[in-house]
A and B are shown apart, each in its own frame.
Chain A
Amino acid sequence: MNVKTLRIILPLVPMILLVAMVAAAFAAHGWDVEATLFAEDPARKMENLIAPDVMAGGDSFKVSDISISDDGRKISLEVEFRSPLNVPVTVKELSADIAADGGSSRLSLQDEVKILPNKSATLEIAGLLNGTPSTMGTTQLPPNLTIKLEIGGIIIEMAEIP
């Protein structure tokens, strides 16, 4: 082999390799362009991160219990939170205002809670009470609910969740 031939062949080999690999990709997927471009529909993969019934509009929050301490100074709400995601979520902060005849009380999450993908967890929010709360006996969320979530290291803070 002389140098001139080598000079032509050397750069040709990588190009042939690339073309052969692209052809192999299509051949391996029955020359189906969509199947060759995407192993799985990216939109469907993203949808899979969100629980299907939440996509349909299911409620994530529900008050499951309200209790007042014996001395009547502290109120606790147990809020059931169903994770709308198929990835682990940590509730770092949760707070809400609860109306009482003497004004309003600010309730805050006692400890941050880790929730497994698509699972529920009970969050306890508590605060000092000023009078009789007007939400006693209901499962409605108190107003001015704010929440701080951590999802995969991303912090999401939401205020006044309806």
Chain B
Amino acid sequence: MTRVNVPGVIAGLLTITLPFLGAWWHLTLGTDALVVSAAPFEVVTSIFGEKMTSPLFWWFCLGLKLGVIYVGVVLLAGSVLIASDDHTAIADELIRFGSTKLMYLIIMFVAALLIAITLANQSSGLVPFRINLPYLIGSDVISASAEGARITIPIGMKLTWAFGAAVLAAMLGIVARVYQKKM
């Protein structure tokens, strides 16, 4: 009977692929007036197709991508190493470390978006137009009028399948941790 932690192996492999699956969430103003594609390890902003970049942020995101890959490798290594009786303690430690980090990342990412959207919605009193942004997914329209001019901005938000893959990987990580304790 194999002693490999199967949920951990799948979670580890899935975590390693996450930085290559693209953005987790998209925000669109108009059709392409402003497009924000975000994940914990990348934020791409384009205004009318022109990408706005910061080299520092790009390098920081590269560090985060490598960090996510590192977590996946640690989880994978622990899940495989458990088969060796000599390295059980180390495998336990690797799985303990690697199994929860992705979940924390998802929670922080979602919380950051919710806080940003809530603050934007609360700022309606500060700007001369009503803001009622959807929470993470959905669409709405912002309208503003001033001195004979009126602007109407359709807003769309959506979570991508890459976010679903991240949630699945995080859940499998938790399952791997529980499974490890029962092995």
**Which residue numbers of A lie inside 8 Å of B, CB to CB?**
1, 3, 6-7, 10-11, 13-14, 17-18, 20-22, 24-26, 28-29, 35-39, 42, 45-46, 48-49, 87, 151-160
Question: B50-89 vs A: 1/0 string, CB under 8 Å?
Answer: 1011111011101110110011001000000000000001
Measured between alpha carbons, how far is A26 from B58 in the docked complex, in Å? 11
User: Min CB distance, A41 to chain B, in Å?
Assistant: 11
State which size class the interface on B falls in. 35 or more
CB distance from B86 to the nearest CB of A (A): 12
| Residues on the B chain within 8 Å of A24, using CB | 59
Binding site for A on B (CB under 8 A): 28-33, 47-50, 52-56, 58-60, 62-64, 66-67, 70-71, 74, 89-90, 92-94, 97, 148-154
Select which of A6, A14, A42, A152 is within 8 A of B67 by beta carbon.
Answer: A14
For residue B30, give the distance in angstroms from its CB to the closest CB of chain A. 3
Interface of chain A, main secondary structure? helix
B150 near A21 with CB under 8 A, answer no
Residues of B within 8 A of A157 (CB): 149-152
| B53 cross-chain contacts in A, Cβ below 8 A | 39
Residues of B contacting A49 with CB < 8 Å?
Answer: 47-48, 50
Contact between B33 and A154, CB atoms less than 8 A apart:
yes
Report the Cα distance A38→B63, complex, angstroms. Answer: 18
Contact B55 A10 (CB under 8 A): no
Q: Are B64 and A159 in contact (CB under 8 A)?
A: no
A25's partner among B56, B74, B154 (CB-CB below 8 A) is B56
Most buried by B among A17, A28, A46: A17
Give the chain B neighbours of A158 by CB distance below 8 A.
148-150
